[in-house]
């Protein structure tokens, strides 16, 4: 029983850390502020809420579809781990350079968002919050859940992360005033470093798992 609790706590913390650093709510807060500057305060809160809910539904959906996608395309978990690790390392490197997710939306999407009355679902929910990195991580993490209760742990981690995302985005202006541009960049770099370490571990785990049948 104690081993079970320890395993689930460890898995929860790992999911929480991975998803939080990939979504990077502190880094995307300035983007949301710029995109919603023409809206009233209440509308901004609704956009943050709707965007977070959209991202939650998207990540939960991909957590269940992960195994189906693997089987359909004949992709091994090991290959996906290595690919995911490379993708995470690339994202972490960008964060280390304090590049705040500018590549997550195309110029066409940004232009469209200026004319739309509802930008919460896209591009804020997808792909700014639930971007390719977060979706890939969710699929990878779901592949590491051998028991049903581990899926519950993963879903709770996704909910917790996106709840924090909602709080941070809702109070983005306050956060910017408190931390300033320099403070946000420092936190961004720290999160980038953590993400790069996680990425390397994903690649190592993938290589070890792939080579295990040939070594033993």
pLDDT at 192 (0 to 100): 85
The structural domain count of the chain equals: 1
CA distance 174 to 170: 9
Q: Which range marks the domain in which residue 139 is found?
A: 2-215
Q: Tokens 């996906």 identify what position?
A: 80
CA distance 50 to 125: 7
Tokens for 32, please give them: 């949301």
Of 159, 169, 142, nearest in space to 55 by CA = 159
Mean pLDDT, rounded, for 61-85: 85
Q: Is the pLDDT of residue 48 over 70?
A: yes
Mean pLDDT, rounded, for 24-31: 84
Mean pLDDT, rounded, for 8-16: 93
Tokens for 136, please give them: 């890939």
Mean pLDDT, rounded, for 123-143: 89
CA distance 73 to 169: 36
Taking CA 202 as the corner, what is the angle to CA 158 and CA 188, rounded to the nearest 5 degrees?
A: 60
Confidence class for position 58, pLDDT limits 50, 70, 90: very high
DSSP state of 105: S
Mean pLDDT, rounded, for 79-85: 87
pLDDT at 77 (0 to 100): 81
Model confidence pLDDT, tens digit, residues 134-169: 998 999 898 877 677 889 999 999 999 999 999 988
pLDDT at 122 (0 to 100): 84
Q: Which of the pair, 12 or 188, is modelled with greater confidence? A: 12
Q: What value does the CA radius of gyration of the chain take, rounded to a whole number of Å? A: 18
Q: Is the pLDDT of residue 20 over 50?
A: yes
pLDDT at 190 (0 to 100): 87
Q: Is the pLDDT of residue 94 over 60?
A: yes
CA distance 197 to 216: 27
For residue 127, cis peptide bond before it (omega within 30 degrees of 0): yes
Q: Is the pLDDT of residue 39 over 70?
A: yes
Give the CA distances from residue 129 to residues 47, 64, 68, 88, 189, in Å, rounded to whole numbers and listed in that order.
12, 19, 24, 15, 18
Q: Is the pLDDT of residue 103 over 50?
A: no
Of 87, 79, 75, 97, nearest in space to 188 by CA = 97
Model confidence pLDDT, tens digit, residues 160-199: 999 999 998 888 878 778 888 788 788 888 888 888 998 8
């Amino acid at each position: 029983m104690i081993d079970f609790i320890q395993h689930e706590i460890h898995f929860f913390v790992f999911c929480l850390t991975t998803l939080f650093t990939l979504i990077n709510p502190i880094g995307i807060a300035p983007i949301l502020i710029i995109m919603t500057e023409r809206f009233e305060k209440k509308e901004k809160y609704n956009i943050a809420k709707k965007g977070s809910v959209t991202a939650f539904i998207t990540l939960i959906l991909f957590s269940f579809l992960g195994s189906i996608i693997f089987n359909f395309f004949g992709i091994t978990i090991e290959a996906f781990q290595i690919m995911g690790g490379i993708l995470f390392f690339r994202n972490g490197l960008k964060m280390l350079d304090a590049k705040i997710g500018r590549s997550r939306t195309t110029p066409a999407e940004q232009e469209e968002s200026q004319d739309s009355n509802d930008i919460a679902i896209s591009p804020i929910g997808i792909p700014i919050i639930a971007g390719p990195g977060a979706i890939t991580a969710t699929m990878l993490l779901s592949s590491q859940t051998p028991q049903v209760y581990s899926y519950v742990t993963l879903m709770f981690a996704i909910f917790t992360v996106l709840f924090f995302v909602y709080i941070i985005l809702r109070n983005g202006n306050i956060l910017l005033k408190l931390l300033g541009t320099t403070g946000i960049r420092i936190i961004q770099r720290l999160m980038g470093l953590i993400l790069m370490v996680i990425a390397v571990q994903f690649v190592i785990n993938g290589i070890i798992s792939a080579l295990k049948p040939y070594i033993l």
